[in-house]
Structure 1
Amino acid sequence: MNSQPVQVPQGDLRASTPKLAFTVDQACYALGLGRTTVYELLATGRIKGIKIGNRRLILADGLRTFLANIEEDP
């Protein structure tokens, strides 16, 4: 049996690690859009997402690309 103590990282790792994916609700909050709009953007492929089981995740890079490609209204 190993008798050495386990080294636990100090601080909250979640605070220093950028998110790679968001839930639909988190993406709605980040974009300031409603759930229906975000699901439409996913369905049309304007935002990239993945599905794991019943859970839909929206990739952070997909959100950045979407925002970079939006044309401004006159």
Structure 2
Amino acid sequence: MRRGQQQEGGAIQVPRGADNVGAPVPFAQRLSCTIAEACEVTGLGRTKLYELIGDGHLTTTTVGRRRLVLVRSLQSLLERRLP
């Protein structure tokens, strides 16, 4: 049983407002993003992004065949580059 759920008469009921399924998560609070999303938020092209990944400036993980960029590594990269 998930937190916030109550069981009455054998049925599980979720209190209203307890489940925010589908609510958008602000980008800065996300754990990861796709390559396309990373390109969009940074303004960099795919080639440059893959170059940064190859040089070890960005951290990624793969789930199956999907490569995800860790948002904190994007933030760290941009913070280091600010004057």
TM-score range, shorter chain: 0.7 to 0.9
Q: Hey, what does 1:13 align to over in structure 2?
A: 23
- Please give the TM-score of this superposition, normalised by the length of structure 1: 0.77
- Describe the shift of the 1:16–1:61 C-alpha distance in structure 2 as closer, same or farther (beyond 3 A): closer
Which segments of structure 1 move beyond 4 Å, counting only runs of 4 or more? none
Larger CA Rg, structure 1 vs 2 = 2
Between the two proteins, what is the percent identity of the paired residues? Answer: 29
Aligned residues: 72
Matches within 5 A, 1:1-74: 2-7=10-15, 9=18, 12-15=22-25, 18-70=29-81, 72=83
State the alpha-carbon separation in 1 of the partners of residues 58 and 44 from structure 2: 13
For CA contacts below 8 A with separation 6 or more, give which structure has more relative contact order: 1
More strand by share: 2
- Describe the shift of the 1:25–1:5 C-alpha distance in structure 2 as closer, same or farther (beyond 3 A): same
* CA RMSD, 1 decimal: 2.5
- 5+ residue gaps, structure 1, are none
